Structure 1
């Protein structure tokens, strides 16, 4: 299973839709990102760690919450998302398939040196939106395939009578 580490605020600041939402509410932007990542993770079969900085929040302790294949992490006071990601990538980077999503070029270099692949926030944006479009397309196809028409459920004689009524209007 591919593990993807996402620098949450870096992504929120990079994605146009989330950047607009953040102007009104950081919490709403975080929730929207998490929702999008849940769909992406489920469709692709990936495990996603989305890491949010709380290093400037006085007295903050590390918090983790798992929702399906998405693990939401708020770092502890004094720890950045970058340092959290580096620590985890260092411990699993060469043992498992790991990708780090951030537009921070220094962070990209460090994680690459530790065995992970890297992807910019905008590249990830395109991949997530492409996946959303695939999900929509597949859903529409399934609805069309599973559609039951009235012609399939009534006898031919009744169908002809209904057709005459429809044409007479």
Structure 2
């Protein structure tokens, strides 16, 4: 299982489908990202940790919420950036597990790579997520088609022939 750290606001500001609108604001964009990552993580069987900066929120304490066994949301504490949190975590686990960090911050990408993790830019990860969503859609359609429950599958041939005769006689 791969562990993917997602710099939440970096991704929100990079992906066209997460643009912040006036009605929903940041909360709406965060919720969309969380739903997308939940689907992606389940499909790929990867553990995803989305990290949102709260370093500009005075008095904020670090909050971690486990949404599913594969998805965790982190809000950093006051004075700590998402980058600093991710670096600290990657330092602790980067050489023990397969770790990937999603951010378009070039300095962060270099730092992460030195600590044993791979990195992906936000646009590159966006393309990967879109491909996964497309594959999910195709597999879902296949399941719908293959699991159709036709009448002819559930009755004997004689009854089916009689029903067909009745249908044609009308």
| TM-score, normalization by structure 2 | 0.91
Contact 1:5 1:50 in 2 (8 A): yes
Deviation at 1:33, TM superposition (A): 0.7
Deviation at 1:163, TM superposition (A): 3.1
Contact 1:22 1:29 in 2 (8 A): no
Matched, 1:47 2:44: no
2:82 is matched with 81
Deviation at 1:103, TM superposition (A): 0.5
- In structure 1, stretches of 5+ residues that fail to align are none
Contact 1:54 1:74 in 2 (8 A): yes
Change (3 A) 1:166 1:16: farther
1: distance between equivalents of 2:24 and 2:168?
54
Contact 1:22 1:28 in 2 (8 A): no
Secondary structure of the corresponding residue to residue 51 of structure 1: strand
Contact 1:12 1:22 in 2 (8 A): no
1:102 is matched with 103
Change (3 A) 1:22 1:77: farther
1: distance between equivalents of 2:74 and 2:55?
12
Mean CA deviation greater in 68-77 or 134-143: 134-143
Contact 1:66 1:72 in 2 (8 A): yes
2: distance between equivalents of 1:44 and 1:101?
15
1: distance between equivalents of 2:167 and 2:66?
54
1:18 is matched with 18
1: distance between equivalents of 2:97 and 2:135?
27
The aligned runs of 1:6-155 (5 Å cut-off) are: 6-21=6-21, 24-68=24-68, 69-155=70-156
1: distance between equivalents of 2:23 and 2:14?
13
- In structure 2, stretches of 5+ residues that fail to align are none
Secondary structure of the corresponding residue to residue 19 of structure 2: helix
